[in-house]
Structure 1
């Protein structure tokens, strides 16, 4: 873990002290668990089931397993966890829909919603010793409530993208106006879209809110750490670099032939697995270009996750298997095991969990430079990185991997080793617990002064 000064706290190297040695990081500390058993933690986010790796649900479950008194407070509950509660207030759904439309018409974002006041009155919030926020900008929360919520309650926020630092967009890409106040926006239609250019007004609103909020910030990549350190809105906070982790027993190399048979993949085909989505940040046009330019005599299977029918034009030329949106992580792991290559040419990515899942499964990944992905995948060791937007380079790297099984196996083997060293879920939870300990310790120190 890195502070905003870049000081190494727990991510390898020489430990700070005996209590933060490598064994502590690799296995949840029994001593820490005993000390923190009575700590009441609250995760707050938009939903529990969809995206549970990011929204605090899996972290909540892990904390419960480690003896914490953990609860998850969500805007929309879809699962059955007894310690997950839905935020509620009178006329919640119609009010939220009306306010979302009003915000859209006024070209403001996450300002008008009453959810923070419902949170402040919630019994689990009032009882919590520490609160951890996730994904607040999905159309249900008001940033104006953060100073109130964080005033007397130790609070942590995980930033999953740069939206909180910009005038409206989730990823500014090549635009640097977010560093000087936004305004005169070159692309109002990019996610999160805005009807009129109120980007400077939104940027100022965020600056004023976060200046009054009492938070510590968690990011998952050095790419994001550089953003928060540079941001006029976030540079004053304490920053902590804690990469996400995954279940390395679930996402692991396995019998590819068994997985292919289950999915109906033709024997002898080389399998290209990818995320199929029309999101402007996931590189779909470049995948199309690469497949059009690709010249190979090898029979191919295109195995897609998320949206269906986006590659129907390739039926007849290649085998196409659309798995659609999968919530079952076991099925996702099966897809990786069936693949030979994972293609992830995102044009914007703050971390990229699918890339590390493919790494853990022993598969080579192809990514674009200019995002967090080359860093996260340790390219060129655990992946191949090509220049942003260069479909020729993307095509050539894809062709090399298709034609060279030894190269695929070599990169895949190293990718698995890197995933084991850096992306163990237990290590991630240990680092979060260490941060919670640190925050609570600092609170106690201030109280005793």
Structure 2
């Protein structure tokens, strides 16, 4: 069996790492796996089965055309025509899509080709973009236009930004037609919450499964805990409240951490991993002059370094307004660190409602968030660690969840035959 994955990234970022690990699992299981990706973050460890299908110049051209003209996913025509030629040469039994809205591929050319060739498709939804006319997330503003048809998008100027034209209606109709044209397709969502949204969208007639993202326990675990990180930042005697995000935006909860900093006690410190200066990419002002009880750590591509920071924390907080999964929360739990999330979107699914791995706070209520921090402080980190790790092993088990994808491949190939 040949399986081709297509994603924005390979190896880097949350989805890029998942694609890499799935490719490795395919190889171990006797599947001839391939990856096409569009953008680089660092130096990828490539092989002949991993193919970059766009350039930095092509990415920027796609991005700026979108910013000016709207309709993300309808540019990069020449790059996608070449990609389709490569797909023809590979002749895959399955095409496994991940994120296809990263300014690198033309969805019209791709889906017309997949329809013509009648190639079975697995599509993992990591956000809500596949069934909207513009945005990746809409929950925080309470928009429900995606259920019947997008228009006059209230998020037009937000990341991803369309500066001039609102073409959400046009994009919605084109996506509905293209994505519904594949006869043998299985949607995989990364949470039950996201799966319920799919059932209300124009893709409701397509079969869907829930497969949680998995955690690499060989990296994110409770082993080898030391004080190196705390000593480096002179916080050995502090109760460490940790947050992790690629960029600290309003959606990710930066304002909540700023409010939390006003009320925490002197023996407590907030550590934020992730950029506080790249908010302008999301239509927001950079966060400068953080209070003294917030330590800002640049984002890291080193998973082992990140795991050490998780282990050094006493509690992890994810105050995000909306998450389709919440990978950083699961990584923290895997390191034995209890987590606190808001009762919104998929966040509670990761922590659980039984309060054995952490707590669920009232949505966007910083006082309630802090009350949960004090509960963790009272009980102690070790009170939660064993259950947190057990939850990860049960729900976010790497081998189990990877194998579920292989089962779907087999099923779709049989259906085609």
TM range (shorter): 0.7 to 0.9
- Give the match's secondary structure for 2:151: coil
User: In 2, are the aligned partners of 1:259 and 1:337 still within 8 Å (CA)?
Assistant: no
Unaligned runs of 5+ in 2: 278-286
Distance 1:374 1:94 in 2: 40
State the partner residue of 1:85.
Answer: 50
Pair member with larger Rg: 1
Distance 2:52 2:196 in 1: 33
Distance 2:90 2:138 in 1: 36
User: In 2, are the aligned partners of 1:157 and 1:217 still within 8 Å (CA)?
Assistant: yes
State the partner residue of 2:382.
Answer: 409
Give CA deviations for 1:82-140 in whole Å, capped at 9, x if unaligned. 14433447xx5545433432332222211122233222100576332211111100111
Point out the more displaced range, 189-198 or 355-364: 189-198
Distance 2:144 2:332 in 1: 32
Distance 2:159 2:178 in 1: 22
2:371 to 371, 379, 396: 396
Aligned length: 396
2:216 to 244, 247, 262: 247
2:131 to 165, 173, 184: 165
State the partner residue of 2:35.
Answer: 72
Distance 2:5 2:360 in 1: 35
Query: Aligned pair 1:434/2:403, yes or no?
Result: no
State the partner residue of 1:45.
Answer: 7
Alpha-carbon distance change, 99 to 48 in structure 1, aligned in 2, over 3 angstroms: closer
2:257 to 287, 310, 314: 287
Query: Aligned pair 1:230/2:193, yes or no?
Result: no
Distance 2:56 2:236 in 1: 50
Distance 1:112 1:141 in 2: 7
Q: Kindly report structure 1 stretches of 4+ aligned residues shifted beyond 6 Å.
A: none
- Give the match's secondary structure for 2:262: helix
Unaligned runs of 5+ in 1: 1-38, 445-449
User: In 2, are the aligned partners of 1:221 and 1:372 still within 8 Å (CA)?
Assistant: yes
Alpha-carbon distance change, 96 to 257 in structure 1, aligned in 2, over 3 angstroms: closer
Matches within 5 A, 1:200-211: 200-211=169-180
State the partner residue of 2:103.
Answer: 139
Question: Alpha-carbon deviation of 1:208?
Answer: 1.4
State the TM-score, normalized to the length of structure 2.
0.88
